[in-house]
Amino acid sequence: MLDIEQSDALIAYLRASSHIAPVETPVIHNLAGGVSNRTVLVERENGEAWVMKQALEKLRVQVDWFSSTARIHREAAGLRWMQATVPDYAPPLVFEDETEHLLAMIAVPQPHINWKTQLLQGVVNRAYVAQFGWLLGSIQRLSLEHEGTADLFTDRGFFETLRLEPYYSYAASQVAAAAPFIHTLIEDTRARRLTLVHGDYSPKNVLVYDDRLILLDYEVIHWGDPAFDPGFSLTHFLSKAHALPEHRATFASAANTYWASYWDEVAALPFAAGLEARAIRHTLACLLARVAGRSPLEYLNADQRAHQQAVVVNLMTAAPDTIAELIGQFAALI
């Protein structure tokens, strides 16, 4: 089995599979960061650069966590959909290999920055925040218009094994007081098949290039609940508001900007009724999952995780009516 992090083996593979010429020697760099994949930058002699991604069977987290490597092909399908729909906001797919369970996409050119890195430095660019909301709303809106999208992404197996189980079910098993809230939310989520859901809509999966957000990481993309992505992503703004007290007001206000620009895109869509209330529930569940699930946020320490858990469990007993209220209450209580 090929391991793309072994550069000699990778070059031999690229030559043997005719993706590069037999005489070409690209420059290879292993990229760190992801927990569920190997990612490697391939700089070709012709100046082109690819990022190759190969799914791991066992994820690189502290607790045991497995997922089928076939998910890389779901990612390839996601990249193709983006290419056909919002081409400027995702890397073009170069090829995928069904045997080695890998793909190659065009590398986002330098200079780019990972948006999470920038946010954790306390740099909160309002235009990017608004673009992030607009992009999510646009994906949802266009997925209703783009013929055949639901059929392409019907399978939710990876969303189950990489999100609902490790984030929601596991958090419920760790925090008894939150279990009824989370179990009800899991059932409601499974019952909704309304739009394209990215499933990992986080600043960590965004590279900023030339003032444009390039969205990565489509492994858990599926046809499902429109409230999941906004809840998942609001969690990142709110947890950063928690982690960086000196920037708390800025992150809280960014969360409001984000929600407003998302809402502008989806308010007129058929699934908008009840969406805000469900996004509030997903935000609370994700805020808990990221401190008590299988994949806790590394930038919160043990005390902060315990505090976030207590605040969220309390908010779950009487969930706010609007996202703005949720943001205000979380920022005040945390």
82 or 252: CB nearest ligand ADP: 82
| Residues in CB range of 187: below 8 A, 6 or more apart | none
Q: Which of 131, 149, 189, 205 binds Mg ion (CB under 5 A)?
A: 205
Rounded Cα gap, residues 171 and 190, in angstroms:
17
Is 83 near ligand ADP (CB under 6 A)?
no
Contact partner, 36, from Mg ion, ligand ADP, none, Cβ < 5-8 Å per class? ligand ADP
Contact partner, 31, from ligand ADP, Mg ion, none, Cβ < 5-8 Å per class? ligand ADP
Q: Which amino acid is at 206?
A: V
CB-based contacts of 190-193 (< 8 A; 24+ apart in sequence): 190/156, 190/164, 192/224, 192/225, 192/226, 192/227, 193/150, 193/223, 193/224, 193/225
| CA-angle at 8, arms to 6 and 12, nearest 5° | 115
Rounded Cα gap, residues 61 and 252, in angstroms:
29
Rounded Cα gap, residues 316 and 262, in angstroms:
23
Q: Using CB under 5 A, which of the segments 98-106, 154-162, 214-222, 306-314 binds Mg ion? A: 214-222
Q: Which of 19, 20, 67, 91 binds ligand ADP (CB under 6 A)?
A: 91
Is 205 near ligand ADP (CB under 6 A)?
yes
Contact partner, 177, from ligand ADP, Mg ion, none, Cβ < 5-8 Å per class? none
- C-beta nearest to Mg ion: residue: 217
Q: Using CB under 6 A, which of the segments 107-115, 163-171, 244-252, 295-303 binds ligand ADP? A: 107-115
Binding to ligand ADP by CB under 6 A, coded x per residue (else -) over 210-229, reads ------xx-x----------
**Helix and strand totals (H; E) in the chain:** 13, 10
Whether the bond into 92 is cis, omega within 30 of 0? no
Is 257 near ligand ADP (CB under 6 A)?
no
Taking the complex as a whole, the smallest distance from the CB of residue 72 to ligand ADP amounts, in Å, to 9
Taking the complex as a whole, the smallest distance from the CB of residue 202 to Mg ion amounts, in Å, to 8
Is 113 near ligand ADP (CB under 6 A)?
no
Q: With left for phi above 0 and alpha for psi between -120 and 50, is residue 85 left, alpha or beta?
A: alpha
Contact partner, 250, from Mg ion, ligand ADP, none, Cβ < 5-8 Å per class? none
Contact partner, 189, from ligand ADP, Mg ion, none, Cβ < 5-8 Å per class? none
Among residues 49, 139, 55, 56, the alpha carbon closest in space to that of 94 is found at 49
37 or 283: CB nearest ligand ADP: 37
Is 235 near Mg ion (CB under 5 A)?
no
Rounded Cα gap, residues 222 and 196, in angstroms:
6
- 218, 78 contact by CB (below 8 A): yes
Q: In degrees to the nearest 10, what's the CA dihedral of 256, 211, 200, 139?
A: 80
Taking the complex as a whole, the smallest distance from the CB of residue 21 to ligand ADP amounts, in Å, to 22
Contact partner, 108, from ligand ADP, Mg ion, none, Cβ < 5-8 Å per class? ligand ADP
Backbone angles phi, psi at 273, to 5 degrees: -65, 125
Q: Which of 103, 105, 194, 286 binds ligand ADP (CB under 6 A)?
A: 105
Give the CA radius of gyration of the chain.
20
Contact partner, 103, from Mg ion, ligand ADP, none, Cβ < 5-8 Å per class? none
Question: What CA–CA distances, in Å, run from 69 to 100, 102, 110?
Answer: 9, 9, 29
Which residues of this protein are in contact with Mg ion, per CB under 5 A? Answer: 34, 205, 217
Which residues of this protein are in contact with ligand ADP, per CB under 6 A? Answer: 31, 33-34, 36-37, 39, 51, 53, 91, 105, 107-108, 114, 205, 207, 216-217, 219
